[in-house]
Structure 1
Amino acid sequence: MTQAPVTPKALRRSHDREIIALAVPAFGALVAEPLFLMVDSAVVGHLGTPQLAGLSIAAALLMTAVSVFVFLAYATTAAVARRVGAGDLTAAIRQGMDGIWLAIILGAAVVAVTLPTAPWLVQLFGASDTAAPYAITYLKISSLGIPAMLIVLAATGVLRGLQDTRTPLYVAIGGFAANAILNVALVYGAGLGIAGSAWGTVIAQYAMAAAYLIVVVRGARRHRASLRPHRAGILASAQAGAPLLVRTLSLRAVLMIATAVAARLGDAEVAAHQIALSLWTLMAFALDAIAIAGQSIIGRYLGSGDAEGARRVCRRMVQWGIVSGVVLGLLVVISRPLFIPLFSNDPAVHDTLLPALLVIAFSQPIAGVVFVLDGVLMGAGDGPYLAWAMLATLAVFAPVALLVPSLGGGLTALWWAMTLMMTVRMATLWARTRSGRWIVTGATR
């Protein structure tokens, strides 16, 4: 008896179920670190304005340090997913362990640099005399948690590659709860002030890292994968992550240029820009969750040698990106009368922010395609192309954005420049996916 062929509709439904199963938990895990900082801000804010200002400066430095190493998650996801697709779970976990060892090495190096330079870094950010001591205290203590944060990134990549985004969600929820309880207990109960907030976060971060390591080590023992560091594997992980580091630094440069230009436009403009950027970042988390699903699924398909399956999933992911972008854009338009007053009572900020939000809403379908294709190419291990594409995008964006203050148009013009940046990214990523050069099958690229 012959088996009935699978219809295109059935394939789409199968892809949709898999995308949802991976993307929804991934979104929850993605917002964990911002929620950590929100809790810290809420607790420290009641200590006084200088303490909150110090926390803000230290948190910006810490988030920058950690975001630079996000390639630990992305590169590990792609490498592990390929080996899962090839049916070699032992090699997949061993590759993941090499990524975790790389995270430990990098984390130790960052701590070694941050501890002695903390006062200089705080001064570089222009902290006031009253805020600087609190910023230094928080930065020195919290930097001790950087190795744990990087372990979490790498281990998250391992589990995503193993097609598991639920465990990172559970760990994130547990870490968030522990951080909130520890912050209140140490800041107020123990009377440690801002130092208590930093220690609470560090403890929660190491608890999260321990939870991840327990899961990964159990998997390694079950599949008899080595836990020892392998020089060749660690170097391979670093080599795979280097292009993604270039991509991330280029993207950070775009955001820093945009903020610097907004600051030159005036106080109302930079305040409105910060609100707009916060909303844009929140929506980016939602779209990035779909991209993470793409990384995991594409890597597995290519690892199994199913090039046509990878193409089908890519097409479906693009459709998801467009629809998600349209929905997010409409939500921005509908909710803007409620959203804007939550952040400012200044009419000048309102007037400046409103047209910028409309530009952001318009750009969300473009952003949806960008995030999805970014995830597809990451899942394919096409890091070098992503690096060059982002450098090219930065080269286009920078002069346009820097001309905004002299040409006029204010914050709205700046966000049109951001839309241009996303359009250039979409064009470069679309050209790559259309070429098919990203499709390289096998357990390794």
Structure 2
Amino acid sequence: MDRASLRQILGLAVPALPVLAAEPLYLLVDTAVVGHLGGIQLGALGIGAVVLAQLSTQLTFLSYGTTARAARLHGAGRGAEAAAEGVQATWLAVGLGLALVGVGQLVAGPVARALAGSGEVAAAAEGWLRIALCGVPMVLITLAGNGWMRGVQDTRRPLRFVLAGNGVSLVLCPTFVHFLDWGLDGSAVANVVGQTVAAVLFLVALRGHAQPPRPRVVLAQLKLGRDFVLRSLAMQACFLSAAAVAARTSVGAVGAHQVVLQLWTFLALVLDSLAIAAQSLVGAALGAGQAKRARDLSGQFARYGLIFGIALGAVFAGLSHVLPRAFTTDPAVLTEIPHAWWFFVAMQPVAGVVFALDGVLFGAGDIAYLRTATLASALVGFLPLIWLSLAFDWGLSGIWTGLTLFILLRLITLLARMRTGHWAVIGATR
């Protein structure tokens, strides 16, 4: 069997994990800093952060799509062309980023008022958003840089670049917010400065590969982007619906859903680090014309994902009586948490396999299949159970049954695709 060594896999996965977790962890610190200003500022930060998170979530194709294309070229021994994918993705990031800044400045006020009403929170959120939007091109450049570096199996430099940018933000945020007394706007300025530092480091890494935009390559990346965005929108619709139904169930239910969902999101990042290693190695194998190695790697990553998921499930099963109390002491929330907790625990082994095989198909560039399978799983499994839970008062048990069914359907569609072998298309490009 043509396998990768555990050391090689960990060498790609371990540095990727802090990169994935850096932004969520920074947002926690930012929230703590701003929280001392008062409820209005904290609410405004929450509104602004949600808007920016939606933008970055929908544009992750600049990272994942670029990895798939660069990995094939790297595997084919065409290193200069792999770096050129990074250049073209960066051009696309700049173009999309500037467009979003322009549109964002026009709609910042209406969006803030739509989400927060017309009071002080909306006004503060609008001011924060207008500043923070200036960092969007930098965020997208960083996504593109992460993508091509992962494709050439370099996950250490992105770790240094992202940590440098977040480190600058961590220092500047309390300085601007409290010591210089810039208030909430200081948080946004600190974000932009840190994002600029990371983006500049990624741009410097591309020195020597500069070239003008190549429409054919940019269009190919946009085609991948379309499938990524549709897939992401399907999942966002599900999770927003779940939050809406939980909020209509009870105060305890929505609080419990938030606690368990945040843990689910964190573990998704942990599992996604394994998927990033799968993208890099599978893409390189197919680029080198080694279809058998790619298929062997898919089985290897599925087994590692299963083992990883079982371990995580066991850990969180053991923490069921302790960890929820670290998030809340509200009796109503603590009473509701078990209705979601055991679904969350039981799903981990399945999720481990699903995330690993996602990485395999991302690396193979089989994005169209992933798009269709995810949309079908959401429409057939997750969304119906969410809204049936509202109609029949099934509460969190119904909502998390829907998420479990969604993950199981995704597992079935992924295993079916693996069996066909149609995903293992060899060549420097797909």
| TM-score tier (shorter) | over 0.9
Q: Is the 8 A contact 1:54 1:127 kept in 2?
A: no
- Corresponding residue for residue 331 of structure 1: 315
Deviation, structure 1 residue 130: 2.5
Q: Is the 8 A contact 1:57 1:127 kept in 2?
A: no
Aligned match of 1:289 in 265, 269, 273? 273
Equivalences for 1:12-411 in 2 at 5 Å? 12=3, 14-127=4-117, 129-217=119-207, 221=208, 225-396=209-380, 397-411=382-396
The amino acid of 1:426's aligned partner reads: L
Change (3 A) 1:336 1:172: farther
For the pair 1:413 / 2:398, whether they are aligned, the reply is yes
Q: Is the 8 A contact 1:73 1:158 kept in 2?
A: yes
Whole-angstrom CA distance in 1 between matches of 2:311 and 2:34: 36
Deviation, structure 1 residue 408: 3.3
Deviation, structure 1 residue 36: 2.2
The amino acid of 1:145's aligned partner reads: G
Deviates more, 1:179-188 or 1:404-413: 404-413
SS at match of 1:444: coil
SS at match of 1:31: helix
The amino acid of 1:423's aligned partner reads: L
Whole-angstrom CA distance in 2 between matches of 1:390 and 1:69: 17
Q: Is the 8 A contact 1:36 1:201 kept in 2?
A: no
Q: Is the 8 A contact 2:309 2:352 kept in 1?
A: yes
Whole-angstrom CA distance in 1 between matches of 2:117 and 2:133: 18
Change (3 A) 1:163 1:189: same
Whole-angstrom CA distance in 2 between matches of 1:127 and 1:211: 39
Deviation, structure 1 residue 175: 1.8
Whole-angstrom CA distance in 2 between matches of 1:435 and 1:226: 40
Deviation, structure 1 residue 203: 0.5
CA RMSD in angstroms comes to: 1.2
Q: Is the 8 A contact 1:175 1:205 kept in 2?
A: yes
Whole-angstrom CA distance in 2 between matches of 1:16 and 1:251: 31
Deviation, structure 1 residue 128: 6.1
Deviation, structure 1 residue 112: 1.0
Gaps in structure 1 of 5+ consecutive residues? 1-7
SS at match of 1:191: coil
Deviates more, 1:120-129 or 1:268-277: 120-129
Deviates more, 1:334-343 or 1:293-302: 334-343
- For 1:189-240, what per-residue CA distance to the aligned partner results, in whole angstroms no more than 9, with x for missing partners? 22111111100110000110001111122xxx2xxx4422212221121122
For the pair 1:432 / 2:422, whether they are aligned, the reply is no
Q: Is the 8 A contact 1:15 1:313 kept in 2?
A: no
Q: Is the 8 A contact 1:54 1:135 kept in 2?
A: yes
The amino acid of 2:280's aligned partner reads: S
Whole-angstrom CA distance in 2 between matches of 1:250 and 1:436: 26
Q: Is the 8 A contact 1:122 1:135 kept in 2?
A: yes
- For 1:90-145, what per-residue CA distance to the aligned partner results, in whole angstroms no more than 9, with x for missing partners? 11111221111111111111111111111111112134612112111111100110
Name the TM-score, length of structure 1 as normaliser.
0.94
Deviation, structure 1 residue 250: 1.2
Whole-angstrom CA distance in 2 between matches of 1:178 and 1:126: 30
Q: Is the 8 A contact 2:58 2:228 kept in 1?
A: no
Q: Is the 8 A contact 2:164 2:197 kept in 1?
A: no
SS at match of 2:319: helix
Gaps in structure 2 of 5+ consecutive residues? none
SS at match of 1:336: coil
Name the TM-score, length of structure 2 as normaliser.
0.97
Aligned residues: 429
Whole-angstrom CA distance in 2 between matches of 1:429 and 1:42: 40
- Corresponding residue for residue 4 of structure 1: none
Give the share of equivalent positions with the same residue, in percent: 40
Q: Is the 8 A contact 2:13 2:274 kept in 1?
A: yes
Whole-angstrom CA distance in 2 between matches of 1:159 and 1:70: 15
Whole-angstrom CA distance in 2 between matches of 1:22 and 1:198: 32
